[in-house]
């Protein structure tokens, strides 16, 4: 790993991960977050408006960025089949409507999603299959169980794994334990010829401070995360504009330091087209246009897609669709 400068101190990133003490010094040496300033900037970015033509493009981009999600104890194979079909063809009446980025389910339902997205033995869609793992949403399980959970999901056909960090370990300052667990889960994402991308969930509503969000972001990226993700959607507050802004600053700074891009996924509580566009403006302004791509930015959502489809229809036809136009998730 390269050498970077944090507040005038040079760090070799590989040295920073060699001990708990070194990792603590590095993470606590990151610049502190000005809470008032961060919230003010996020609020200001949220007031930006975009022109009608740009709005149409933003809606289609947001649809392509959605990880269409169902993570309930009452999930059934039928519900997952319906969700996967909707992910492939969000608006069956309009062939120009793009598919979503992924469908996100529990590991035991990955096979059902794969079957729905497969035709004649081959994947008939670019929609990815994401699976939550590592004792989602609490993360309270032994490491061997978390690794088995991950391996089972990848073997069943998951293209992406959304893992949760051990917040208790993180908040107790056991940073190296958290980092080593992420490294181990990333290794478990490779099963034979199959390899899944790893999204690391912080559960920012439990991290207590913006400084902790910045530290968790750097820790996960140093451990090899492909994406960093705000929340499970099970704890409030979930995704917020200030938290997402801090994570976008982290991935921007990490690329400047290392040359490596890492994606960002806000999840939980993003329900309207208006909110989605606020996030896209923030991505462009904070991280830069390179992140305006489903490979580098996602929305974890269940109901957001419905509003995007209704707004898309309004722009295309000049009228709002009826309440039964889109399927209920």
Helix/strand/coil for 299: strand
Is 265 catalytic? The answer is: yes
Nearest to 167 by CA among 187, 147, 140, 133: 140
Is 146 catalytic? The answer is: no
Nearest to 293 by CA among 98, 61, 108, 4: 61
Out of 86, 146, 199, 265, the active site residue is 265
What is the per-residue DSSP string for 131-187?
A: EEESSTTTT-S-HHHHHHHHHHHHHHT-SEEEEE--HHHHHTT-HHHHHHHHHHHHH
Out of 86, 146, 229, 278, the active site residue is 229
d(CA 260, CA 294) in angstroms, rounded, equals 17
Out of 162, 253, 275, 307, the active site residue is 162
Cβ proximity of 254 and 221 under 8 Å: yes
d(CA 184, CA 162) in angstroms, rounded, equals 14
| Tokens encoding 257 | 């330091």
Active site residues: 162, 229, 265
């Amino acid at each position: 790993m390269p050498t970077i400068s944090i507040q005038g101190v040079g760090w070799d990133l590989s040295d920073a991960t060699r001990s708990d003490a070194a990792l603590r010094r590095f993470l606590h040496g990151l610049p502190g977050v000005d809470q008032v300033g961060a919230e003010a900037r996020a609020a200001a970015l949220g007031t930006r408006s975009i022109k009608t033509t740009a709005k149409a493009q933003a809606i289609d981009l947001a649809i392509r960025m959605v990880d269409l999600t169902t993570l309930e104890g009452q999930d059934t194979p039928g519900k997952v089949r319906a969700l996967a079909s909707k992910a492939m063809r969000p608006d069956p009446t309009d062939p120009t409507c793009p598919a979503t980025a992924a469908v996100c389910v529990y590991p035991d339902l990955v096979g059902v999603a794969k079957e729905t997205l497969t035709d004649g033995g081959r994947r008939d869609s670019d929609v990815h299959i994401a699976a939550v793992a590592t004792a989602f949403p609490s993360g309270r399980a032994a490491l061997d169980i978390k690794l088995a959970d991950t391996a089972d999901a990848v073997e069943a056909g998951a293209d992406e794994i959304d893992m949760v960090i051990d917040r208790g370990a993180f908040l107790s300052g056991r940073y190296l334990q958290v980092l080593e667990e992420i490294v181990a889960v990333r290794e478990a994402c490779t099963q034979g010829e199959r390899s899944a991308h790893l999204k690391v969930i912080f559960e920012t509503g439990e991290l207590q401070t913006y400084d902790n969000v910045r530290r968790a972001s750097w820790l996960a990226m140093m451990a090899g995360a492909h994406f960093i993700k705000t929340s499970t959607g099970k704890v409030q507050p979930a995704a917020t504009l200030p938290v997402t802004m801090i994570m976008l600053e982290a991935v921007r700074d990490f690329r400047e330091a290392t040359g490596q891009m890492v994606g960002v996924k806000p999840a939980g509580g993003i329900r309207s087209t208006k909110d989605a566009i606020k996030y896209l403006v923030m991505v462009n302004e904070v991280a830069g246009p390179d992140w305006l791509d489903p490979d580098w930015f996602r929305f974890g959502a269940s109901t957001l897609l419905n509003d995007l489809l209704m707004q898309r229809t309004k722009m295309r036809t000049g009228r709002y669709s009826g309440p039964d136009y889109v399927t209920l998730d």
